[in-house]
Amino acid sequence: MKDRPIIVHSLEDARAALAAAADLGLPVTLRSAPGAARYLGATVFRDMISEAAKPYSGLSVTAVFDCGSDPGLALGALRHGLKAIRVDVAADVRGKITDIAAQSGARVEFGDEEEGAGKTALDLLDLDDLEAAVRTWLREGK
């Protein structure tokens, strides 16, 4: 199954995404909104995903915090214990962030990696039936 990330904006979004993934028995990647690190603290995102995942202890959940183009926010997210971050930075900064992330067992995604690769994400913003949208999205990736 190819990775089918889901952009969540709230605890409600995260709960709906995890409920649908658990119902299908599929692993899930939850991603914060693009640049969310500018307005949503790393600990808030981490705790939101943790709270939503409580009922699904056996579910494989990857949470990716989007730090936009700010390497300082990316480093802050790593200091707060996030294990997957997304950042859009110049090539000369990528290696440094990747090395720092590796020291804490974290991984880094770069914003331009999706270009031309056909990877997209389902954004739950303003959708009416969140669980149905997630089910459809995840089934398409099978």
From 5, 103, 115, 95, select the one nearest 49 (Cα to Cα).
5
Q: How far apart are CA 65 and CA 10, in angstroms?
A: 13
pLDDT for 41 equals 92
SS3 state of residue 98: helix
Per-residue pLDDT of the chain (142 residues; tens, 9 = 90+): 578 999 999 999 999 999 999 999 999 999 999 999 999 999 999 999 999 999 999 999 999 999 999 999 999 999 999 999 999 999 899 999 999 999 999 999 997 665 444 458 999 999 999 999 999 999 988 6
- Specify which residues 65 forms β-bridges with: 85
What CATH number does the domain located at 6-140 have?
Answer: 3.20.20.70
Domain ranges of the chain: 6-140
Q: How far apart are CA 129 and CA 1, in angstroms?
A: 24
